[in-house]
Amino acid sequence: MHTLPLALVLGASFAYLLLLFTVAWWADRRASAGRSVIGNAWVYALSIGVYCTAWTYFGSVGRAAASGLWFLPIYLGPTLAMLLAWSLLRKMVRIAHTHRITSIADFVASRYGKSRTLAALVTLIALVGILPYVALQLKAISSGFALLAGTQGANSAQGTPWWLDTTFVMALLLAGFTIAFGTRHLDASERHEGMVAAIALESVVKLLAFVAVGVFVTWSLFDGPGDIFARAAADRSLAPLLGLTGSSGGEARFAGGQWFALTLLSALSVLFLPRQFQVMVVELVDERHLRRATWAFPLYMLLINLFVLPIALGGLLHFGRGGADPETFVLSLPLAGGHPWLALLAFVGGLSAATGMVIVEAIAVSTMVCNDLVMPIVLGSGRHTSDLSRLPLQIRRVVIVLLLMLGYLYFRIAGEAYALVSIGLISFAAVAQFAPALIGGMYWKGATRAGALAGLVAGFALWAWTLLLPSIAKSGWLPHGFVADGPFGITLLRPEQLFGLTGLDSLTHALLWSLLANIGLLVAVSLARPPAAREVAQALRFVDVFRSDRQAGGTATVRWRAQATLAELRQLAARFLGAEPAERLFAEYAQRSGARRIERIVLDAQLVRHVETQLAGAIGSASAHAVVATVVEEEPLGPSDLLRLLDEASQVRALNRQLESLDRLKDDFISSVTHELRTPLTSIRAFAELMRDDPDMATAQRQEFLGLVVAETERLSRLVNQVLDMAKLEAGHGQWRREAIDLRELIAHAVHTTSELFRERGAVVTVEQPDEVRPLMADRDRLLQVLLNLLSNAAKFVPQDGGRVRITLSTDARGATIEVQDNGRGVPPEQQRLVFEKFRQGGDASNRPQGTGLGLPISRRIVEHFGGHMWLRSTPGQGACFGFELPWTHDTVGDQS
């Protein structure tokens, strides 16, 4: 069999890694310039391909060579998950982006009252559970490198020091590349644009390389797939791989159970593996990209698995059983066929598959360890009184190196005794333990922290007992009798036949007991003890996340208690974010809240929650909550949260006052709408009756009356349209477009449309704007609707004579700001927070202009859908200024068309 020079294999490997680093650097540079590479649905779908690791590249062929189609459940599960569970994934994304969640540990902990204990437990499970998977990648790279360069057995030769082991060296190199790829930014919730771009490229490379080998084997070594399958069917030893031999009823039931277990396990893994959560949830730019991923990712899975069985059968036919390691057929077949360059390409594809997994997994796990294991210890030591803005990055870099070294250690302890697929399934079963707490927490408000803890502990313990320890024992590190006879000879505790259950393979057996205990304890303990108030509050925010998003823009006040001042809160943020990022945080908040300057920010619950959310991106939600709790005694709840909370607990009687307020709001709504409907209907009826009863009415007068009827009909249409529009927006059924908008032209159009209103009032409209403005990506009709609402509102309140309205357009690096200032009577302070509520209008009842009170609420929802913010500034007697700002780029988090 041909081999390649060692220098060539090393050179190709380094060149490829350098290419990945260059792509990542280029993508980061473009992101810094405001031109995101990953804001593309195809890039997102390809990045999910990180699921296909060295296990896919080498292990699937090995499994197919041993058991035929039994490699398929590992890929059938993710395909079904993307096709059937996309709504679950969308909900995960919305929750994570709303709360700036950075990892799966952060997600689970945040759901259950921001529990630091739960975050630490999930992190430990992920860390221990993922080590076999890291070892798998190292084993695949090591065996492929040895085969290609002809160095099999060199590392184990007597006298070779362990630090010269090629697998150890590769682990260090991967650690270095991972640090360079993913630990340049403090905020873990910020997207790793360069990393995602590199992972998308890796997905393309490994697919093309694997398909190239498949084409070579199928049509060069053999005469097509028909030839391969015909020869395999004629070979008695290979016919079972094609399912051509019968099986008894018991064997069929066993196979069916194992097939279901593998499919379920892989479906859970594609959602809950730390690396999958990182690319599918944290790194997602636009929620709408999920729609393409639901079919593009299954298509990718189909393409990369098309040639698995032909390569496996081709290798067995070419080498014979035992002639070569099936897990290296992707390399050994091109070498045996005299195509070493194709083998080198295949090795680069396998290296790509392994490095992609290691990079993303290490970034995700290092973030979890930093935020949920190390930082709580640091905070508990009192060190948070000093500047810690650089510490999380340093911790993550150390954890990445330790993770690769521990993966190498597991490879040396247990990796040699297991096939690649078996090692991967051990990790899959560990990660599956997150599913009950996470899925239950997203859909069941009654799930509690105690139940989640009990379920995770039991599930993880049974996983370790029934799957992890037997893998170590199989490697000779534990007595053989430990597995065969049970500890201390207790046969009921035998890991692979726990409680006397027989007839199942080890994986199905472990999955059954661990998930059964996990789900059972989650439900039982949650029902036995009611959740704490904070857990219920978080449950409402998670379970009803879409409803909460629609209510998030409310202006109602919240009650809270705090010991902090604004200066102390700024100092707290600076310790963990750095002085400059902290000041930028408060400056942006001042702009959005209408305070304009930091010193004028009102210290309220919304500010505290905003600061805590930003800190969560750097140190995790549990640690952020603990830090903020040093100055704030309790987290605030909005009235809507409080109502829903007590409604869930059957304590509505304690909220009679709030219910009376809601009843009055309902009456106001009915009164407002019926009044607005009655007035034009009365006019229409009166004019129609006059024309009916006077057939000799003069033509001029009849035309005048008809014009009034048309005007009143248009007024009715506007009312109905506004009510329907508001209902659509609140139900999440609004229609949205995205196009480049010339803001100068948009303002000119709005001014022209409302010119007659201002002419009738004798008012003058002026526009102040830059000579040139870059295009803004949004929905032109919706933004025109906002401007028309603001201008129409100004026209109602300017003086009859001498009215002045000034429209100001300004821009900066972040986005564009538009303000509409009038010289009317202004809005009293006690009413300024009511104008954005539905069916509320400023002014006294005696001089309040006609209208539904829906224009401003609709406008604010439109602005917030495009990532912006709307405000009101007004001093009584000096007019009112309504303004809004929109970012140049944004993630639409509102309604989906």
- How confident is the model over 771-791, as pLDDT tens digits? 888 999 888 888 888 888 888
400 neighbors 184 (Cβ within 8 angstroms) = no
Distance of CA 503 to the CA centre of its chain: 40
Nearest to 406 by CA among 737, 609, 130, 698: 130
632: left (phi over 0), alpha (psi -120 to 50) or beta: beta
Question: Is the model's pLDDT at 438 over the cut of 90?
Answer: yes
Kindly give, in sequence order, each residue whose CB lies less than 8 Å from that of residue 558, ignoring residues fewer than 6 positions away.
604, 605, 606, 636, 637, 638, 639
Average pLDDT over residues 420-431: 75
Taking CA atoms, 544 is separated from 111, 641, 688, 720, 765, in Å, by: 12, 10, 49, 28, 44
Q: Which residue has the higher pLDDT, 512 or 830?
A: 512
Residue reference for tokens 């730019």? 285
Give the whole-angstrom CA distance, residue 56 versus residue 63.
10
Give the whole-angstrom CA distance, residue 332 versus residue 216.
12
Question: Is the model's pLDDT at 350 over the cut of 60?
Answer: yes
Question: Is the model's pLDDT at 347 over the cut of 90?
Answer: yes
In which band, very low, low, confident or very high, does the pLDDT at 640 lie, cut at 50, 70 and 90?
A: low
Question: Is the model's pLDDT at 392 over the cut of 70?
Answer: yes
Least confident of 110-124, 371-385, 558-572, 879-893: 558-572
Q: Which residue has the higher pLDDT, 315 or 193?
A: 315
634 neighbors 654 (Cβ within 8 angstroms) = no
In which band, very low, low, confident or very high, does the pLDDT at 893 lie, cut at 50, 70 and 90?
A: very low
The angle, 0 to 180 degrees and rounded to 10, between the axes of the packed helices 193-216 and 289-305 is 30
- Report the b/e string of 385-396 with b at 16+ CB within 10 A: eeebbebbbebb
Average pLDDT over residues 658-684: 63
SS3 assignment, position 822:
strand
The residues that bridge with 809 in the sheet, in sequence order, are: 818
Give the whole-angstrom CA distance, residue 836 versus residue 815.
23
Looking at residue 651, its pLDDT comes to 45
User: Count of CB atoms within 10 A of residue 27's CB?
Assistant: 24
Give the whole-angstrom CA distance, residue 181 versus residue 714.
59
Least confident of 10-24, 412-426, 645-659: 645-659
In which band, very low, low, confident or very high, does the pLDDT at 325 lie, cut at 50, 70 and 90?
A: confident
Least confident of 474-478, 579-583, 608-612: 474-478
Question: Is the model's pLDDT at 201 over the cut of 50?
Answer: yes
Question: Is the model's pLDDT at 674 over the cut of 80?
Answer: no
Distance of CA 58 to the CA centre of its chain: 30
Amino acid sitting at position 323: G
CATH code given to domain 739-887: 3.30.565.10
Give the whole-angstrom CA distance, residue 619 versus residue 575.
12
Average pLDDT over residues 23-48: 86
Average pLDDT over residues 94-120: 88
Of all residues in the chain, the percent with pLDDT exceeding 70 is: 78
Pick the CATH number of 6-222+258-380+389-415 from 1.10.287.110, 3.30.930.10, 1.20.1730.10, 1.25.10.10: 1.20.1730.10
The angle, 0 to 180 degrees and rounded to 10, between the axes of the packed helices 340-369 and 391-413 is 130
Q: Which residue has the higher pLDDT, 690 or 297?
A: 297
Looking at residue 892, its pLDDT comes to 44
Average pLDDT over residues 306-334: 91
Average pLDDT over residues 758-771: 89
Question: Is the model's pLDDT at 360 over the cut of 50?
Answer: yes
858 neighbors 727 (Cβ within 8 angstroms) = no
Q: Is 364 exposed, middle or buried (0-12, 13-18, 19+ CB in 10 A)?
A: buried
Nearest to 577 by CA among 384, 364, 396: 384
- The token pair at 477 is 């590190």
Give the whole-angstrom CA distance, residue 321 versus residue 823.
90
Question: Is the model's pLDDT at 661 over the cut of 70?
Answer: no
Average pLDDT over residues 344-369: 89
Of all residues in the chain, the percent with pLDDT exceeding 90 is: 24
- Report the b/e string of 620-635 with b at 16+ CB within 10 A: bbbbbbbbbeebbeeb
Q: Which residue has the higher pLDDT, 719 or 359?
A: 359
SS3 assignment, position 739:
strand
Question: Is the model's pLDDT at 666 over the cut of 70?
Answer: no
Class of domain 653-731: mainly alpha
Q: Please give the full DSSP string across 172-232, using - where no structure is assigned.
A: HHHHHHHHHHH-S-S-TTS--HHHHHHHHHHHHHHHHHHHHHHHHIIIIISSSHHHHHHHH
Q: Which residue has the higher pLDDT, 791 or 473?
A: 791
Looking at residue 806, its pLDDT comes to 93
In which band, very low, low, confident or very high, does the pLDDT at 342 lie, cut at 50, 70 and 90?
A: very high
Give the whole-angstrom CA distance, residue 540 versus residue 655.
18
SS3 assignment, position 675:
helix
Looking at residue 192, its pLDDT comes to 79
| Domain residue limits, the chain | 6-222+258-380+389-415, 433-553, 554-639, 653-731, 739-887
Tell me whether strands 764-768 and 804-811 are parallel, antiparallel or unpaired: parallel
Question: Is the model's pLDDT at 226 over the cut of 70?
Answer: yes
Nearest to 879 by CA among 829, 824, 830, 798: 824
Looking at residue 620, its pLDDT comes to 72
Q: Which residue has the higher pLDDT, 71 or 314?
A: 314
Distance of CA 495 to the CA centre of its chain: 37
Looking at residue 503, its pLDDT comes to 75
Question: Is the model's pLDDT at 137 over the cut of 80?
Answer: yes
Looking at residue 108, its pLDDT comes to 93
The residues that bridge with 559 in the sheet, in sequence order, are: 637
According to the per-residue pLDDT averaged within each range, which of 303-307, 380-384, 581-585 is highest? 303-307
The angle, 0 to 180 degrees and rounded to 10, between the axes of the packed helices 104-111 and 621-628 is 50
449 neighbors 113 (Cβ within 8 angstroms) = yes
Looking at residue 185, its pLDDT comes to 58
Question: Is the model's pLDDT at 231 over the cut of 60?
Answer: yes
Question: Is the model's pLDDT at 796 over the cut of 70?
Answer: yes
pLDDT in tens, 248-284: 444 455 566 788 888 999 999 999 989 999 899 988 8
Largest CA distance in the chain: 119
In which band, very low, low, confident or very high, does the pLDDT at 842 lie, cut at 50, 70 and 90?
A: low
In which band, very low, low, confident or very high, does the pLDDT at 635 lie, cut at 50, 70 and 90?
A: very low
Give the whole-angstrom CA distance, residue 658 versus residue 648.
16
- The token pair at 598 is 């930091």
| Predicted TM-score of the model (pTM) | 0.66
Torsional sign, CA 336, 341, 342, 348: positive
What does the chain come to in residues?
A: 897
Q: Which residue has the higher pLDDT, 439 or 864?
A: 439
Question: Is the model's pLDDT at 809 over the cut of 90?
Answer: yes
Least confident of 98-112, 466-480, 693-707, 839-853: 839-853
Looking at residue 646, its pLDDT comes to 46
Give the whole-angstrom CA distance, residue 602 versus residue 598.
9
Question: Is the model's pLDDT at 896 over the cut of 50?
Answer: no
6-222+258-380+389-415 against 739-887: fold identical: no
Which segments of 214-264 are extended strands (E)?
none
Please provide the average confidence, as pLDDT, over all residues in the chain.
Answer: 80
